[in-house]
Structure 1
Amino acid sequence: MYSQAPKKHLVFSTAYDPSTDQVLDWMAAMGGQFIRKNTNDQYIEREDTVLPVSAQAEDRRYASIWFRKISGLPRQDWLSGVHLSEAAEAFQANLPYFNQYVERERKTFYDFYYQSFQAGRILSPYEAIRLNKLVVLNLAASIGLDVPKTLITKRRKILERFRAECPEGVINKSISEHLFFDGPAPDIKRYANYTEEITDRMIRTMPETFDLSLFQEKLDKDFEIRTFYLEGRCHSMAIFSQDNERTSLDFRRYDKSNPNRLANFSLPGAHEALIARLMGLLGLNTGSLDLIQTRNGRMAFLEVNPAGQFGMVSVPCNYGLEKQIASYLINGNES
C-alpha cells in the first residue's frame, strides 16, 4: 500500500512543442504540479538506473502521465576508430552494423525506462503509441471503416495492374513515418516527403523492380477531415484543401499566402463509434485521425497519429482542447 497518493504529473514531450506548452500553462492555472521531460534531450542517459526498479519508488509514481511525444536522440555514430583497438580491422570494416547494434541496445533500455513509471491515469500509453501504419489500415478495414485500396509492391507490372483498378489515379506515400530533415548550414532548409501522385508516364518509365513502396488509389476528394480523439469523444474539423492546387494532394504543403478554409465538422455517429472502437483496439485514448470525404459520398479513413498536432483543430474550431487535456490529466475528466 502506498503511504499517500502521488500529486505530481509527468509529461514526456519534446522541446519547442507549442501544444505541450499550452497544456502545461493550463495545468499550472489549475494548480497542478508537473514535471516535463523532453525526450530529445540526453537527460535519460545521465540518469543511472539500477534494477530491479520498484513500482512503489517515489520517483516512479505520478498522479498522471502523458506520453505526448517520444523522440529518439539525434543519430550518432557511437562507434568510431577512436574507440577501437588498432588490431580491430573487422570492427572498422563493419562500423555501420555495430552502430545499429548500439542503437538496438539503447532502444531496449528506453522501452524499459518509459514503461517503468506508474500512474493512475496515462494519456497515450507508451506501449501503444508506436503504431504500424499497415496494421492500423488492416484493422480499420476489418471493423468496417472505409479504407482506400492499398498496394505494397516493388514490381512495376503489379503497379500497372493496380493502376487499372483505380479510375482516379494512384498516389504514393510513406510506408511508415514521414521523413523530415534539415539541409546544410548556413542557408538551412527543411525537407520532407509528401504524398505524390504517380502518373501513367511515371509508371511507364519506372524500372521493372524498385524499392518496396506503398501505393493507394487516388480519391476524388471533396474535403479532408482532421479529428482529434480524446477519451471517447471526437473533435473534428473540415479542411478544404481542394481549393488550392498546392494542398490538393497533401494539405501539409501549406500555402501561407492562400490558407485553406477550415470549419467545424461533426462526424456521423456511426463513424464516431467505429473510431472509438478502433482506438480501443489499438489501446489508445487519444490521437489525431485523418479522413477524406469524397465527392461521391465516401468517408475514407487514412491514418491515426498518437502524437499528432491538435492545436490546428483546437484554435480554429474553438474546442479548447488544451484545457480539456489539462483537466483530464489533473482531474480525470475533460470539463
Structure 2
Amino acid sequence: MILILSYDEYEQGTDPVIDWLIYKEADYIKITIKDIVNNRSKFLIDINNKRLLINDIDYTDRINVIWYRRFEAHLGLQVENTNHLHQINHEIKYEVEDTITFLKRVFDDKVWMPHYNSISLKKPEVTLLSEQFGLRTPKSIITNNKSDLVKFKKTLDNELVIKPIRHSSYFIEDDYAYSIYTQKLNDLSDIPEQFNLTLFQECIERKYEIRVFYLDGKFYSTAILVNNDTENIDIKKYFKSEIINWVPYQLPPEYEAQLDDFMRSINLNTGSLDVIKTQDDEYIMLEINPVGQYSAPGFRCNYYLDEKIADWLIENDEKETVSI
C-alpha cells in the first residue's frame, strides 16, 4: 500500500498523481493534518508496539511506500476563542509535531519519497554541501548589517541579488496576492546599517535557466528561453507571459552523474533543481527543493511527470510486497 502524507486542499503536484493512482487501480491511502487535528478520522498510534490504526484498521504492515509531500504545510487548528487562544494553539501545534515525529519513526523502515530527514535541507545547507561535492554555486552570505554587505559586494565580479533565506509564500490583501522575488541590489545607499538576517548572492549572468526534476536517478530538464532582454532576475515573473519558451533540455551526462551522486549523498530520491547555464557555458546550481513544483515544465515538455511519479510509487510498492 502507498501512504500519501499531504495537505487537505488541492495541490497541483499531488492531486494529478493521485488521479493516476486511481486510474491504475493502485492501493493507496491519503492522510492530511486536518484528518488528525480536526477529528475527521479515528487516529490511534500504539506507542509500545509501533502500530498505526485509522478508523480501527491497522495499516502498519500494509504500508510499503510513503509519499511525503507538504504534510505539515497547513496545520489547521480548531480551538474556541479564549483569553489564552494564542498559547493554546501554540502548544497544540507542538503536540501534533511531536506526534508526527514519532509517526515517522514508526515507519522508518518504509520506502520514503523523499526521506523525511532530508526534506528539511535549507538553501544555505544545500549551497555548502554542493560546494563540498564539487558543484559550483553562487557566492553567498547571510548578514544583518550593511558593513559586511558592502565588503561582500566588493569581492564579486558580478552584480548582487537579494532573496529569501527560506521559501516565502504569498501575502493576500483584498483582491491582490503579493510575493517576494529574487531582486538585483546594486545601490546600497538606502540600506540601513542594521536589518533582519538576509541572504545575498552574486548575480550569475545567464545564457538561460534550467529547471530539473530528479526522480531516483532520472533527470527531466527544461531550458527556459527568454525572448527579449529584461532587467528582472527572477524568471518566475514571466511564467505566464509570452516572452519565454519552455524547451526540453539534455544536461551533459557527466553533469547528470555528478548531480545524481550528490542527490544520493544527501539521501534525496527526488527534488526540483534550479540550474543556470552561464555565458561561458558553465553550469551553476542555485538550489534544490525536495518538494518543488514540476507541473509547469512537465506539462510544457510532455514529460508526464505526474504519471512517472505514480509509476514509481506503484513499482516500489509492488517490489516491497514481493520481498515481504
- TM-score when normalising by structure 1: 0.82
Residues 256 and 135 of structure 1, relative CA distance in 2, 3 Å threshold: closer
Which residue identity is paired with 1:298?
Answer: E
- State whether residues 64 and 119 of structure 1, in contact with CA within 8 Å, keep that contact through their aligned partners in structure 2: no
Q: Helix, strand or coil: the match of 1:245?
A: coil
Residues 74 and 323 of structure 1, relative CA distance in 2, 3 Å threshold: closer
Q: What percent of counterpart residues are identical? A: 29
- State whether residues 12 and 68 of structure 1, in contact with CA within 8 Å, keep that contact through their aligned partners in structure 2: yes
In the alignment, structure 1 residue 143 sits paired with structure 2 residue 144 = no
Q: Could you say which residue in structure 1 is the equivalent of 2:150?
A: 160
Mapping 1:25-40, distance limit 5 Å: 25-39=19-33
- State whether residues 115 and 126 of structure 1, in contact with CA within 8 Å, keep that contact through their aligned partners in structure 2: no
The number of residue pairs the alignment matches comes to 308
Mapping 1:128-277, distance limit 5 Å: 128-183=118-173, 187-200=174-187, 203-241=188-226, 243=228, 245=230, 248-254=232-238, 256-277=240-261
The alpha carbon displacement at 1:21 in A equals: 2.0
The alpha carbon displacement at 1:55 in A equals: 5.0
Q: Could you say which residue in structure 2 is the equivalent of 1:88?
A: none
The alpha carbon displacement at 1:76 in A equals: 6.5
Unaligned runs of 5+ in 2: 318-324
What does the per-residue CA deviation read over 1:76-113, in whole Å, with 9 as the maximum and x for residues that have no partner?
697975459xxxxxxxxxx67x7655543432222223
For residue 323 of structure 1, the aligned residue among 299, 307, 311 is 307
Unaligned runs of 5+ in 1: 1-7, 85-94
| Inter-partner Cα distance in structure 1 for 2:286 and 2:227 | 17
- State whether residues 38 and 77 of structure 2, in contact with CA within 8 Å, keep that contact through their aligned partners in structure 1: no
The alpha carbon displacement at 1:215 in A equals: 0.3
| Inter-partner Cα distance in structure 1 for 2:120 and 2:228 | 34
Residues 300 and 331 of structure 1, relative CA distance in 2, 3 Å threshold: same
Q: Helix, strand or coil: the match of 1:296?
A: coil
- TM-score when normalising by structure 2: 0.85
Residues 55 and 78 of structure 1, relative CA distance in 2, 3 Å threshold: closer
Q: Could you say which residue in structure 2 is the equivalent of 1:54?
A: 50
The alpha carbon displacement at 1:75 in A equals: 6.9
| Inter-partner Cα distance in structure 2 for 1:101 and 1:56 | 23
Which residue identity is paired with 1:38?
Answer: T
Q: Could you say which residue in structure 2 is the equivalent of 1:9?
A: 2
Residues 77 and 332 of structure 1, relative CA distance in 2, 3 Å threshold: closer
Q: Could you say which residue in structure 2 is the equivalent of 1:283?
A: 267
| Inter-partner Cα distance in structure 2 for 1:23 and 1:76 | 27
Q: Could you say which residue in structure 2 is the equivalent of 1:123?
A: 113
Residues 79 and 271 of structure 1, relative CA distance in 2, 3 Å threshold: farther
Q: Helix, strand or coil: the match of 1:126?
A: coil
- State whether residues 37 and 77 of structure 2, in contact with CA within 8 Å, keep that contact through their aligned partners in structure 1: no
Residues 37 and 55 of structure 1, relative CA distance in 2, 3 Å threshold: closer
